[in-house]
Chain A
Amino acid sequence: MIRFSLNGKTLEADTSPNTTLLDFLRQEQRLTGTKEGCAEGDCGACTVALLDPDAVGGPAWRAINSCLTLLPMVNGRTLVTVEGLSDGETLHPAQQAVVERLGSQCGYCTPGVVMSLFESCYRDDAASEAAQSDQMCGNLCRCTGYRPIQDAAKDVAGCRPADRFAAALVPAVTDPSGAWTRGDESWSMPDDWSVFFDAVEQEEAQIVCGATDLGLQVTQRGVRFSTLVSVESLPGLRDLHVDGDVVHIGAAVPLTDLERFAAEELPVVARMLRFFGSRQIKHRATLGGNLCNASPIGDMAPVMLALDATLVLRSRAGERELPIREFFLGYRQTALAAGEVVAAIRVRKPGPSARVGAYKVSRRREMDISAVALGAWVEVSDGLVIAARLGFGGMAATPKRASALEAALVGQPWTIDAVERLIGHLDEDFQPLSDHRGSAWYRQTVAKNLVRGFVEETEHASFQALPDRPLSTIVQVSK
């Protein structure tokens, strides 16, 4: 049995753990305001808001995709859907703004749009155009052309009405952990390591965290997992702190929290996260999930390769550390042993002589999977490269470093001319494939140009932040 608060009422549910939150709302609660547009996390029509403690600030309303959220994940939590916003006939500011701006035409995307705006009302970091675009990019609208939605977003960002939703933003203990079985399907989210290891040692146990990847198997392939075990509530998995010059990232920290934290502590990571999925996805997606998923087109592996991150792996036998360069063994294969999980990722902050960058090229700038991604780090001393790490996504069967080019760069001046002479080494490193995200030619050409862009950006600076509205993944450096 799971228990949670939905639009101010406590609910108990006893359904299959493979039930999505969206199906529960629409089919079982007949709350049909929340829409299904795709059931793959890409359209945002299913957006609802979850009250969740934040790993950095405090409690926050988080817009999430109910189509990818498995019902047990909201256990112990507080949820609001579009039906729960207005106060009698008085509309919530997020709703009012859409009405006034004509932000709805057919209205099908609108409940989701409203829920993203709802989150934005209570944010204290949504003043910039970039933040607003990031907030809304996970809500596709085919009718309006977005201008009125953008205006509505500007109207409400950070307005924080003095209402019951603001009042709910107080530190409180939420405990989503628990376990139950229904028929031959079981769910557990232990808050204790030994209980966890017992659970994962069961036959067919499937580890899950935010389910932004795993959920697709349920909604797109009709998979019903018999034994789901979540890492989300394990001790320390949502820790996020700096220890000296090492940043410690719990494997289950939501990427939005990491993005905010990294803006100060590890800007190159924040730069990649700016164009990672949508706000809704990032609220549930985790770094642990992204790396363990081991997708060749995942975006965080290239950055983590460039930063030479250390993975903290945990099993019943204890903890071990593994450099990320040894983690990806083959197509969607990792060095994790059976029953072993990623507990945390540790990253040393780039030193003063380091140059770093993060790049992503996709068909659509926002909310798309990379054709090519690059995380880049070079150490420069007296104008010469003394070490280089270039982590690429989209170029091979795994996230992979450009070791031939890296080796060639060492000892060379960090200038565009030098890089121009050496860039051909990338052909030794990669023979990418063609698919609908990009041809082999495009990938190879862009990969080289990203390295060129990186050197231009960092010839005279250690790092460039993205402008508010970047047209390209490469930052234009004014001469």
Chain B
Amino acid sequence: MSSPLHKSASHESAVGHVTGRARYVDDIAEPHDTAHAAVATSTVAAGRLLGLELTAARALPGVLGVYSAADIPGVNRIGPIVHDEPLLAEDQVFFHGQALAVVVAETREVARAAAALVKPQIEPTLPVLTMDEAIERADFHTDAHVIARGDVEQALASAAVVVEQDVRTGGQDHFYLETHGSFAQPVEGGLKVTSSTQHPTEVQREVAAVLGKPASTVVCEVARLGGGFGGKESQASQFACLAAMGAHFTGRPVKLVLKRHEDMAWTGNRHPFLGRYRAGFDAQGKLVGFAVKIYSNGGWTSDLSSPVMDRALFHLDNAYRIPALRFEGRVCRTNLPSNTAFRGFGGPQGVAVIEDAMERGAAALGIDPVELRRRNYYVDGDACPYGQVVDNVRLQRITDQLLESADYVARRAEIDAFNASSRWIRRGIGFVPLKFGISFTASLLNQAGALVLVYADGSVQLNHGGTEMGQGLYSKMLAVAADTLGVRLDQIRHMATSTEKVPNTSATAASSGTDLNGAAVLDACTTVRERMRPVAAEMLDCKPDAVRFVDGSCVAGDSSVPFADVANLCWVKQISLSSTGYYATPGIAYDAETGRGTPFFYYAYGAAFAEVEVDARTGQYGLVRVDILQDVGDSLNPSIDRGQVEGAFVQGLGWLTVEELIYDDSGRMATHGPSTYKIPAVGDIPADFRVALLDRSAQEGVIGGSKAVGEPPFLLAFAALGALRHAVGSFGGLPEIAVPATHESVLRAIEALR
């Protein structure tokens, strides 16, 4: 055996997963005095809260306490950036499902029953539910964020063709299989909160603030999440705070685990976006000007809407050079759950706009849509709209390789021939390239910490600030630690993520978990290893730099000593065997005032072809084949990275094709369970699903030469939309397929052309 780095391996918890031994928040053994919380919520989307009748709820046998905003000992404000979110409603309600009071009771059943007895007195007002209404009323969470370059009006005036369109993309529920869960336990000196959060530090901070206590009195621990996708980045805190309030007041452990319908109705989703654009192309198909106004539906509080909007603006260019441009983005305020982070974080919504322009531009100019895109690719040295200069652009290389492996030209011709002779069944092939900026767009968040403890018997505990939610972060961190310390994987125990071990961490988000935490783990392990090196050299009777740490041994030439023996001797010699590690991404900064800066450390690239077959009588369709080539740098674990690519693609496919959030006119969610909100099932994936990782692609300055992989491949699902356009377009004319491209939406587009 040698280093596990860069090798395929199963998920570190796989055996725990398949045996049911892997524990999630709701699985933790409950001390005998555990109580349960439930939340009473608003049943109107907007109004004045005149009073809250709690006596009936309090009187129910088994109820330990019912608490409202007035009871909050600290501040009744949470929120990741702007602290504008009342944990419990004060004198106004802002959405259907807003928390009014928290009930603590002996059992879950009693807690829910009591929550239903909380009777608010609300004077309803007219809710604002759509972006169009908010724009009309000029009701925004943010000022306009503008990024501009050149004279776009002039460029559009001189263009050979100008296409313009309103592009709408819809919301998306995260549908992590594990709903939000929090378990707050009083401990000496404070509270321990186990939460299904992607951001333990934020849970710690907000629980402390709500209770009016210093952060040091709260420990937040996360062993794993049953999926996060951004939905548990900022929005885990409110439930952790409510459970913590219960524990604070009753002195008992309090658990709050949401039912699916609660989770879906109360928590935010992917932001729906509206993009109004005008795009000008010259006769060769080169984009000369692009003017875009984008709006997002932020919901009732600002949450992460502002950085989501930033990332949408940063991805309005996708993979293409744009000489003259003006981008402007604003977040609409509405009476809906507060929309939040979701894999891609605005990137997909931005890309949707320019990809629409590419499709329309290709049609208007009669240029093959793949060819048109290639003509516009960035090349090394080009500047992005916000001024960052790109280098090591891999778009052409990826496209060349994929054109060949997917056999695009021949297949497109075959498809066109097939369509010409088929009445009802039509096929189509679509393509999308991607460039995705890696780093938190709020530059200061690009930091991470680790803590490694080596014991005198050679066993190791590994801690860092990242959370494991299925993406394989722990597997990769174990490999980095094993590689750096030169120990076997079975010598290392990965500890649950805890604010007790590593403080002031950033959310595990922005695809950055491995980059940031990996570098911190590397730092910590290197420190300890270098302290051990002279001792090992002494034992091996060689020079310190002759010692190699491999596979649980320290080796020099033909001789070796076990790592454990070296560790023990370090202890005897009074040498520290533990260390923290720290990393901050160098050289990134962005100024939103000027719309200029270097927000990203590097870019990830990729591309996909998708082929669909459509039945024009029902609008039903299926993916026949998908070819993906993704740049993940020098992969730390190819099989895990492939899993990220496939999972992201299918999730993106769900967003663009079948998932639809529906609210009724009063602002109440109609699709609050999997019976009505459909995510892709096994039969929806491509019949022939070919995923490859770009070879020879090490990324300088990143842990192990790897690249981020969590979010970028989500964008590849746009290839399916292109394929649908091609298929539907075979009826003659420019297809208008509204997303999500449900069977109904596709049938409407077909009927409009037939």
Near A by CB (< 8 A), chain B positions 618-634 give: 618-622
Q: Which residues of A lie under 8 Å from residue B175 when comparing CB positions? A: 140, 142
User: B227, A106: Cβ atoms under 8 Å?
Assistant: yes
Residue of A38, A43, A133, A149 with most partner-chain B CB within 10 A = A38
User: B674, A43: Cβ atoms under 8 Å?
Assistant: yes
Known: A35-B178, A86-B19. A147 touches B11 (CB 8 A): no
A469 to B685, CA, bound (A): 11
Q: Is B413 close to A, CB under 8 A?
A: no
Interface residues of A: mostly helix, strand, loop or mixed?
A: loop
User: A109, B647: Cβ atoms under 8 Å?
Assistant: no
Q: Is B177 close to A, CB under 8 A?
A: yes
User: B470, A105: Cβ atoms under 8 Å?
Assistant: yes
A416 to B176, CA, bound (A): 47
User: B21, A33: Cβ atoms under 8 Å?
Assistant: yes
User: B681, A104: Cβ atoms under 8 Å?
Assistant: no
Q: Which residues of B lie under 8 Å from residue A363 when comparing CB positions? A: 658, 660, 678, 742-743
Stretch at the interface among A165-173, A226-234, A245-253, A437-445: A437-445
Q: Is A95 close to B, CB under 8 A?
A: yes
Interface mask (A72-103 → B, CB under 8 Å = 1, otherwise 0)? 00000000011101100001001110111010
Residue of B17, B639, B648 with most partner-chain A CB within 10 A = B17
Q: Which residues of A lie under 8 Å from residue B613 when comparing CB positions? A: 471
Question: A447 CB to closest chain B CB, in angstroms?
Answer: 10
User: A442, B744: Cβ atoms under 8 Å?
Assistant: yes
A186 to B653, CA, bound (A): 47
Q: Is A369 close to B, CB under 8 A?
A: yes
Q: Is B418 close to A, CB under 8 A?
A: no
Chain A interface bracket (under 10, 10 to 19, 20 to 34, 35 or more)? 35 or more
Q: Which residues of A lie under 8 Å from residue B471 when comparing CB positions? A: 105
User: B15, A91: Cβ atoms under 8 Å?
Assistant: yes
A108 to B26, CA, bound (A): 11
Interface mask (B223-252 → A, CB under 8 Å = 1, otherwise 0)? 011111100000000000000000000000
Which of A32, A95, A148, A439 contacts B744, CB < 8 Å?
A: A439
Q: Which residues of B lie under 8 Å from residue A105 when comparing CB positions? A: 11, 227, 470-472, 643, 647
Question: A421 CB to closest chain B CB, in angstroms?
Answer: 17
User: B744, A438: Cβ atoms under 8 Å?
Assistant: yes
Q: Which residues of A lie under 8 Å from residue B648 when comparing CB positions? A: 145
Q: Is B27 close to A, CB under 8 A?
A: yes
A436 to B662, CA, bound (A): 7
Which of B27, B177, B685, B689 contacts A32, CB < 8 Å?
A: B27
Q: Is B576 close to A, CB under 8 A?
A: no
Q: Is B493 close to A, CB under 8 A?
A: no
Nearest A residue to B15 via CB reads: A99
Q: Is B676 close to A, CB under 8 A?
A: yes
Nearest B residue to A361 via CB reads: B618
User: B621, A142: Cβ atoms under 8 Å?
Assistant: no
User: B674, A364: Cβ atoms under 8 Å?
Assistant: no
Question: A303 CB to closest chain B CB, in angstroms?
Answer: 18
User: A449, B618: Cβ atoms under 8 Å?
Assistant: yes
Q: How many residues of B contact A (CB 8 A)?
A: 84
Q: Is A222 close to B, CB under 8 A?
A: yes
Interface residues of B: mostly helix, strand, loop or mixed?
A: loop
Interface mask (A334-356 → B, CB under 8 Å = 1, otherwise 0)? 00000000000000000000000
Question: B606 CB to closest chain A CB, in angstroms?
Answer: 15
Known: A45-B177, A102-B14. A476 touches B425 (CB 8 A): yes
Q: Is A69 close to B, CB under 8 A?
A: no
Q: Is B126 close to A, CB under 8 A?
A: no
User: A473, B620: Cβ atoms under 8 Å?
Assistant: yes
Question: A384 CB to closest chain B CB, in angstroms?
Answer: 25
Interface mask (B594-621 → A, CB under 8 Å = 1, otherwise 0)? 0000000000000000000111011111
Near B by CB (< 8 A), chain A positions 430-455 give: 436, 438-439, 442, 445-446, 449-450, 452-453
Near A by CB (< 8 A), chain B positions 669-687 give: 670-671, 673-676, 678-685, 687
A271 to B61, CA, bound (A): 52
Q: Which residues of B lie under 8 Å from residue A140 when comparing CB positions? A: 175, 177, 674, 679, 681
Which of A102, A146, A364, A476 contacts B650, CB < 8 Å?
A: A146
Near B by CB (< 8 A), chain A positions 1-59 give: 26, 30-43, 45
Which of B13, B179, B646 contacts A107, CB < 8 Å?
A: B13
User: B11, A104: Cβ atoms under 8 Å?
Assistant: yes
Question: A40 CB to closest chain B CB, in angstroms?
Answer: 5
Q: Which residues of A contact B (CB under 8 A)?
A: 26, 30-43, 45, 81-83, 85-86, 91, 94-96, 98-100, 102, 104-111, 114, 133, 136-137, 139-150, 220, 222, 361, 363-369, 371, 436, 438-439, 442, 445-446, 449-450, 452-453, 469, 471-474, 476
Q: Which residues of B contact A (CB under 8 A)?
A: 10-11, 13-24, 26-27, 29, 112-113, 174-179, 224-229, 259-261, 424-425, 469-472, 613-615, 617-622, 639-640, 643, 646-651, 658, 660, 662, 670-671, 673-676, 678-685, 687, 689, 691, 742-744, 747-748, 751
**What are 21 A-B contacts defined by CB distance under 8 Å?**
A32-B27, A33-B21, A37-B178, A38-B675, A40-B674, A43-B260, A95-B18, A98-B17, A99-B14, A99-B15, A100-B10, A107-B11, A107-B226, A133-B682, A142-B175, A148-B646, A363-B658, A442-B619, A446-B617, A449-B618, A472-B620
